[in-house]
Each structure stands twice: as C-alpha cells, then as structure tokens.
C-alpha cells in the first residue's frame, strides 16, 4: 500500500492511497500493459496459470497467436509459411500487407484497426505449447492510438 499526500501553497491537501499487488516472479505470469492516447497505463495480470479465463496459446502449427486476459485480447495469424518467432516486426489490420490475418489488438469496436507488433521473446516447449512470449504492439482505431506490451513467462520488461 502506498499513500501520497500533496499540498499546494494555499494549504489545500489531497491524499490518495493505492494498493498494489506484487508478484514475486513475473516470469510465471501473464501480464498485459496498455495505454490509450494520453490515459494512464492500464495493467492486467494473471498470476494463476489454472485460470482458464486468461491464456496465451500458439495454435495451428505455430501460425496463430491468441492471448486473452480478461476482456483484453490479441489475436493474429501468419500466412505464407511464416511462424511466430523472436524478431518478427509486422503490420496487421485492414491495410496490412505483411502476411498477418486477424485483428491483432482486439480493442477497436469498429473492427477497422491497424497497427504493428514486434516479438521480442518467443519459445515453445517440447510439446509445442507456448512457453515464453514478449510482444509489443502499436494500434490505431480511428483517432485512438493504443500502445501495449504482452508478457507471458518472459523476463523481458514491459515498455
């Protein structure tokens, strides 16, 4: 818990108390941070791997990435023989020509979003399941711009 007191020259005081939950090891978590326009950063996290309402999956022979955390979602597929791997830096959305299908960041009510994503860390386990993911995205929905980071079992810090 953090408590902050702020005052001005007139003697007015404002006090805020914020509770923060800290995970001992973020590499075991699914974490999503995003900022719409100039709003404060929103953080969504799932520290319980048995919680089926949140997940990170690589599907269909490593061509589709589906990450769900509460109501927030990132969904994209690769075409043309591409597979998910660290170093990918591709556009998505209605005007994308980089071989990406799907909406990418599912944060646009009109469905007309465009954006780019960069995969910083990506690994599958021996069974072909997603083991680690660090992905950053920049999304545009009309005039709304969203910048975000997804981390799953990854030690790469969010931006």
What does the pLDDT look like over 22-56, one tens digit per residue?
Answer: 655 555 688 888 999 989 988 887 765 556 678 89
Record the pTM. 0.78
Q: For residue 22, what are the CA distances in angstroms to 49, 70, 115, 123, 150?
A: 16, 19, 31, 25, 17
Q: Is residue 7 part of a domain?
A: no
Domain count, the chain: 1
Q: Is residue 82 part of a domain?
A: yes
Q: Is residue 51 part of a domain?
A: yes
pLDDT confidence of residue 23: 54
What does the pLDDT look like over 98-143, one tens digit per residue?
Answer: 788 888 888 776 667 888 999 999 999 998 899 999 999 999 988 8
Count other Cβ atoms within 10 Å, centred on residue 63: 17
Q: Is residue 47 part of a domain?
A: yes
Q: Is residue 6 part of a domain?
A: no
pLDDT confidence of residue 24: 53
CA distance 32 to 10: 40
Q: Which domain holds residue 33?
A: 24-152
Q: Is residue 10 part of a domain?
A: no
Own/partner long-range contacts of 123-130 (Cβ < 8 Å, ≥24 apart): 124/58, 124/62, 128/58, 128/62, 129/57, 129/58, 130/56, 130/57, 130/58, 130/65
pLDDT confidence of residue 48: 58
Higher pLDDT, 48 or 158: 158
Closest CA to 132 of 108, 155, 159: 155
């Amino acid at each position: 818990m953090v408590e902050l007191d702020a005052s001005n020259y007139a003697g007015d005081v404002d006090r805020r108390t914020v509770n923060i939950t800290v995970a001992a090891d973020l590499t075991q978590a699914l974490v999503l941070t995003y900022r719409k326009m100039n709003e404060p950063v929103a953080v969504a996290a799932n520290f319980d791997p048995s919680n089926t309402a949140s997940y990170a999956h690589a599907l269909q022979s490593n061509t589709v990435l589906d990450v769900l955390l509460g109501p927030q979602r990132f969904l994209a597929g690769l075409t043309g023989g591409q597979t998910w791997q660290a170093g990918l830096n591709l556009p998505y959305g209605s005007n994308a020509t980089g071989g990406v299908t799907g909406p990418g960041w599912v944060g646009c009510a009109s469905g007309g979003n465009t954006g780019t994503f960069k995969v910083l860390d990506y690994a599958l386990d021996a069974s072909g399941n997603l083991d680690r993911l660090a992905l950053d995205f920049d999304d545009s929905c009309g005039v709304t711009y969203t910048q975000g980071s997804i981390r799953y079992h990854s030690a790469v810090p969010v931006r």
